[in-house]
C-alpha cells in the first residue's frame, strides 16, 4: 500500500457519465474515464486492511461476496497509485482474461465486500479496473500471445460467451489447438447479443478481443448450431476433449391470458434484434418507437430493455417488479460483506426518469393478463399489487391485494424475468446427464460431465449467474480439461 492515509484524505469519486438525454440518442458507451490524477487518488484509497475481502470470491447468502476470479485488487490499486500502469495490467491479466468486459458489465461484488465499505464508501475498484485495461489497449501493451509449442491435442468449445472464451484462451495458452463453435452469426454469445452496445461496444471492445484470440491461434466457427447443422458425434470423433459453455438461455415465461398476442416478447429476442440492427446500421425488427412499453422483471436484463426502449424513442415506459423496493441503506439482515441489496438507479432508469420525470419501476406488482386489439396485437395489460406472505409450509408467496387491479397501456411487452437453465435440445443430442434444475451435471472444481472427455462451465452448469462467474468457470474447466489431456496442468 503506497499511501497509508489515502482512504482518509480522498473521497470516493466516479467519472461523470454522459447526460441521460444526450446518450439516449445513440448507442455509444455512456461511461467516461477519469483523469489520471484522480484515478491515482482513487487507487490510494485502497487501505491496508490486513484481510482483503474484495478478492475472496465467496458465496454468502446465495450472492457473490468479493471477486469470483480472485483479482489481485489491492496489488493493482497500489500500482495505479504509484503510476505503474503496465505492471498493474500484468497483475490484472494474471487472474482475468477479459478485464475490458468485467470492467464494464460486472456489478462489482468486490466493492460490496470492500473493508473500507464498512463505514465509508468503498474503493472504486471496477472503474480502476476498466481504466487499467483500456490504457493497456491504447498503449499497445495488449498483444497476441500464441503458445510457443503445440501439444497436438484438439479441443472443441461449444459456445463463445464469457465461459467459452475464457476456456478457449486458457486451453490455447496450454498449447492445445482450440476451435470454438458458435450458433449465432458472430462470436461472443451473451457479450455480443445479450448486453447492449451502450454498455459494451461490440466492434471496439468485444470483436477487438476476438480478433486478438484468432491471432493467438484460436479458430471460431459461427452459424454452427450443434444438432442442426453440426453433428454432435463430431466432437467425440475429431476432438480429444470438449467443453460445453452454452449458457442458461431458456427464458422464464409468463403463461397468462393473452400471452400469445403479438407484441409480447422475451427480453433476449428484443435485445438481440436491436444489437443486430445496430451492427447493420439499420432498424430493429422489434421496435419500441412511439409505443407504450412495459418491461416485466428487474435485474440487468430488465434495465437493458429499459435503456434500449429509450433509445428507440418509446412513448412511455413502466417496469414491473414483483419484489419490494429495496432500502436506501443495508438492512440489518444484509450485513457486510454480503452483496448490498440497496436501492439504486441504474443507467436505464436514470434515462427514463430524465425523460418521463420519475423512476419507471413499480414494485410489489404483478401482471394478471394481456389484452389485445382486433388484429391480435397487445394493447393493454392488467396489473395487481401483491403482498408477500408465508404459506402453511413457511414459504413466502405473493398474495394479490383486492381492489388494486389497474389497466395500463402497452403496445410492447418485454419479459425479463430471468432464465430457467440451458436449452435442452443440445444436451439431449449429446446425451449428457443433467441435474434436478436441468443444468449439466458436473461438480464445481472438476467440471467433468457424465461423458469422458466432455466438460461443462458457466451458466449451463451453475445456472444463471454473473459474467465474472462464467470467466471463473471457463478457466476452471480449462484447467481440468488440460489435466485430462496431459495428466497434469500448469494452468492457474
Q: What is the 3-state secondary structure (H, E, C) of the chain?
A: CCCCCHHHHCCCCCCCCCCHHHHCCCCCCCCCCCCHHHHHHHHHCCCCCCCCHHHCCEEECCEEECCCCCCCHHHHHHHHHCCCHHHHHHHHHHHCCCHHHHHHHCCCHHHHCCHHHHCCCCCCHHHHHHHHHHHHHHHCCCCCCCCCCCCCCEEEEECCCHHHHHHHHHHHHCCCEEEEECCCCCCCCHHHHHCCCCCCCHHHHHHHHHHHHHHCCCEEECCCCECCCECCHHHHHHCCEEEECCCCCEECCCCCECCCCECEEEHHHHHHHHHHHHHCCCCCCCCCCCCEEEEECCHHHHHHHHHHHHHHCCCEEEEECCCCCCCCCCCCCCCCCCCCCCCCCCHHHHHHHHHHCCCCEECCEEEEEEEECCCCEEEEEEEEEEEEEECCCCCEEEEECCCCCEEEECCEEEECCCEEECCHHHHHHHCCCECCCCCECCCCCCCECCCCCEEECCHHHHCCCCHHHHHHHHHHHHHHHHHHHHCCCCCC
pLDDT tens, 33-86? 899 999 999 999 998 888 899 999 989 988 889 999 999 999 999 999 999 999
Domain membership flag for residue 347: yes
pLDDT, position 50: 85
pLDDT tens, 189-200? 999 999 999 999
Last residue within a domain, chosen from 113, 139, 165: 139
pLDDT, position 472: 97
Instruction: Give me the percent of the chain exceeding a pLDDT of 90.
Output: 93
Domain membership flag for residue 144: no
Residues 6+ apart with CB under 8 A from 479: 170, 489, 491, 492
Longest dimension (CA), the chain: 71
Domain membership flag for residue 146: no
pLDDT tens, 237-272? 999 999 999 999 999 999 999 999 999 999 999 999
Domain membership flag for residue 360: yes
Claim to verify: residue 17 and residue 42 sit in the same structural domain: yes
Claim to verify: residue 366 and residue 410 sit in the same structural domain: yes
Residues 6+ apart with CB under 8 A from 469: 64, 68, 458, 462
Distances in Å between the Cα of 66 and the Cα atoms of 53, 71, 355, 399, 468 are: 6, 9, 35, 35, 11
Confidence grade of residue 160 (pLDDT, cut at 50, 70, 90): very high
Last residue within a domain, chosen from 383, 417, 451: 417
**Prediction pTM value:** 0.95
State yes or no: pLDDT of 1 exceeds 80. Answer: no
State yes or no: pLDDT of 184 exceeds 80. Answer: yes
The average pLDDT across 167-178 equals 98
State yes or no: pLDDT of 352 exceeds 80. Answer: yes
State yes or no: pLDDT of 394 exceeds 70. Answer: yes
Last residue within a domain, chosen from 110, 139, 168: 139
**Owning domain of residue 202:** 154-249+420-486
State yes or no: pLDDT of 429 exceeds 90. Answer: no
Claim to verify: residue 299 and residue 397 sit in the same structural domain: yes
Claim to verify: residue 269 and residue 385 sit in the same structural domain: yes
Report the number of distinct structural domains present in the chain. Answer: 3
Claim to verify: residue 48 and residue 182 sit in the same structural domain: no
Claim to verify: residue 292 and residue 400 sit in the same structural domain: yes
Confidence grade of residue 2 (pLDDT, cut at 50, 70, 90): low
Confidence grade of residue 384 (pLDDT, cut at 50, 70, 90): very high
The average pLDDT across 375-392 equals 96
On average, the pLDDT of the chain sits at 96
Domain membership flag for residue 38: yes
Claim to verify: residue 82 and residue 128 sit in the same structural domain: yes
- Please name the residue that has the C-alpha cell 419507471: 360
**425: exposed, middle or buried (Cβ count in 10 Å: 0-12, 13-18, 19+):** exposed
Confidence grade of residue 227 (pLDDT, cut at 50, 70, 90): confident
475: domain CATH number is 3.50.50.60
The average pLDDT across 156-181 equals 98
Confidence grade of residue 290 (pLDDT, cut at 50, 70, 90): very high
Claim to verify: residue 266 and residue 396 sit in the same structural domain: yes
pLDDT, position 62: 87
The average pLDDT across 288-294 equals 98
Claim to verify: residue 407 and residue 264 sit in the same structural domain: yes
Claim to verify: residue 223 and residue 278 sit in the same structural domain: no
pLDDT tens, 357-369? 999 999 999 999 9
Domain membership flag for residue 243: yes
Confidence grade of residue 406 (pLDDT, cut at 50, 70, 90): very high
Claim to verify: residue 231 and residue 265 sit in the same structural domain: no
C-alpha atoms less than 13 angstroms from C-alpha of 435 in its C-beta half-sphere: 16
Domain membership flag for residue 408: yes
Claim to verify: residue 62 and residue 159 sit in the same structural domain: no
Among 349-358, 408-417, 425-434, which is the least confidently predicted range?
A: 425-434
Neighbours of 341 (CB within 10 A): 15
Domain membership flag for residue 109: yes
Amino acid at each position: 500500500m503506497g499511501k497509508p492515509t489515502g482512504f482518509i484524505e480522498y473521497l470516493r469519486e466516479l467519472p461523470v457519465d454522459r447526460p441521460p438525454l444526450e446518450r439516449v440518442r445513440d448507442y455509444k458507451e455512456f461511461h467516461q474515464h477519469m483523469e489520471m490524477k484522480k484515478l491515482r487518488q482513487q487507487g490510494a484509497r485502497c487501505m491496508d486492511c490486513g484481510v482483503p475481502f474484495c478478492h475472496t470470491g465467496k458465496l454468502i447468502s446465495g450472492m457473490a461476496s468479493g471477486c469470483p476470479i480472485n483479482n489481485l485488487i489491492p496489488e493493482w490499486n497500489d500500482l495505479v497509485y504509484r503510476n505503474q500502469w503496465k505492471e498493474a495490467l500484468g497483475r490484472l491479466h494474471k487472474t482475468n482474461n477479459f478485464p475490458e468486459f468485467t470492467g464494464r458489465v460486472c456489478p462489482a461484488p468486490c466493492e460490496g465486500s470492500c473493508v473500507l465499505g464498512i463505514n465509508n464508501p468503498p474503493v472504486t475498484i471496477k472503474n480502476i479496473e476498466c481504466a487499467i485495461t483500456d490504457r493497456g489497449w491504447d498503449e499497445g501493451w495488449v498483444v497476441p500471445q500464441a503458445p510457443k509449442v503445440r501439444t497436438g491435442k484438439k479441443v472443441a468449445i461449444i459456445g463463445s460467451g464469457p465461459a467459452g472464451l475464457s476456456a478457449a484462451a486458457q486451453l490455447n495458452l496450454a498449447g492445445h489447438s482450440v476451435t470454438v463453435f458458435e450458433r449465432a452469426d458472430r462470436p461472443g454469445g451473451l457479450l455480443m447479443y445479450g448486453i447492449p452496445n451502450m454498455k459494451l461496444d461490440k466492434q471496439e471492445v468485444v470483436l477487438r478481443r476476438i480478433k486478438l484470440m484468432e491471432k493467438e491461434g484460436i479458430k471460431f466457427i459461427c452459424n454452427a448450431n450443434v444438432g442442426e447443422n453440426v453433428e454432435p458425434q463430431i466432437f467425440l470423433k475429431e476432438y480429444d476433449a470438449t467443453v460445453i459453455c452454452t449458457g442458461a438461455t431458456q427464458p422464464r415465461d409468463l403463461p397468462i391470458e393473452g400471452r400469445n398476442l403479438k407484441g409480447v416478447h422475451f427480453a433476449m429476442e428484443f435485445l438481440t434484434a436491436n444489437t443486430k440492427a445496430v451492427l447493420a446500421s439499420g432498424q430493429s425488427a422489434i421496435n419500441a418507437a412511439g409505443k407504450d412499453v412495459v418491461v416485466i422483471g428487474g435485474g440487468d436484463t430488465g434495465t437493458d430493455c429499459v435503456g434500449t426502449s429509450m433509445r428507440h424513442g418509446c412513448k412511455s415506459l413502466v417496469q414491473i417488479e414483483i419484489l419490494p423496493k429495496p432500502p436506501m441503506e443495508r438492512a440489518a439482515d444484509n450485513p457486510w460483506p454480503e452483496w448490498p441489496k440497496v436501492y439504486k438507479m441504474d443507467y436505464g432508469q436514470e434515462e427514463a426518469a430524465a425523460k418521463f420525470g420519475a423512476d419507471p419501476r413499480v414494485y410489489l406488482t404483478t401482471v394478471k393478463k394481456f389484452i389485445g386489439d382486433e388484429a391480435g396485437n397487445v394493447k393493454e395489460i392488467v396489473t395487481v399489487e401483491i403482498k408477500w406472505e408465508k404459506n402453511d409450509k413457511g414459504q413466502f408467496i405473493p398474495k394479490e391485494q383486492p381492489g388494486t387491479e389497474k389497466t395500463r397501456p402497452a403496445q410492447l411487452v418485454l419479459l425479463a424475468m430471468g432464465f430457467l437453465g440451458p436449452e435442452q435440445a443440445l444436451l439431449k443430442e449429446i446425451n449428457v446427464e443433467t441435474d434436478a434444475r436441468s443444468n449439466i451435471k458436473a461438480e464445481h472444481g472438476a467440471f467433468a460431465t457424465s461423458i469422458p472427455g466432455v466438460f461443462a462451465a458457466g451458466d449451463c452448469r451453475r445456472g444463471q449467474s454473473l459474467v465474472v462467474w462464467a470467466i471463473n468457470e471457463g478457466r476452471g474447466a480449462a484447467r481440468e480439461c488440460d489435466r485430462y489431456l496431459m495428466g497434469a496442468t500448469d494452468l492457474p
